Amino acid sequence: MRKFSLDALAREHLERAAAADNGRSATTVYGGHEHALRQTLLALTAGTGLSEHDSPGEATLLVLRGRVRLTSGDTAWEGRTGDLIAIPPARHALEALEDAVVVLTVVKT
């Protein structure tokens, strides 16, 4: 069994994101290429994000800190600390409306 402090990782990666040219920092907290389930912690500074990309499969986004906007086509969802957003099975983008940390959970098929 392995245990992670998501709070500690959030603090660490927000600091890394603030120092990075692209305003982002990420780490896989569980899973990887040998697993079907992958959980990635992603820190984003305000105004940065992930440009539109294809859906990785069944996925959710848990907002640990801050506020984000997930868009897909003409539809947008805002998430705040504590919110869980189901990612649509379509092209989408993510923007940090303020400094934010999220956990992306993906099940690869």
CA separation, residue 57 to residues 38, 73, 109 (Å): 11, 17, 7
The pLDDT value given to residue 2: 80
User: CA–CA distance from 61 to each of 3, 20, 71, 79, 87 (Å)?
Assistant: 20, 22, 13, 9, 7
The confidence score (pLDDT) of residue 87 equals: 94
Taking only the tens place, the pLDDT of each residue in 44-97 is 999 999 999 988 789 999 999 999 999 999 999 999 999 999 999 999 999 999
- Domains, the chain, ordered by start: 6-107 (2.60.120.10)
pLDDT surpasses 80 at 107: yes
pLDDT in tens, 35-46: 889 999 999 999
Q: Encoding tokens for residue 23?
A: 């305003």
- Looking at residue 83, its pLDDT comes to 98
Distance, CA of 39 to CA of 72 (rounded, Å):
21
Is the whole model's pTM more than 0.85, yes or no? yes
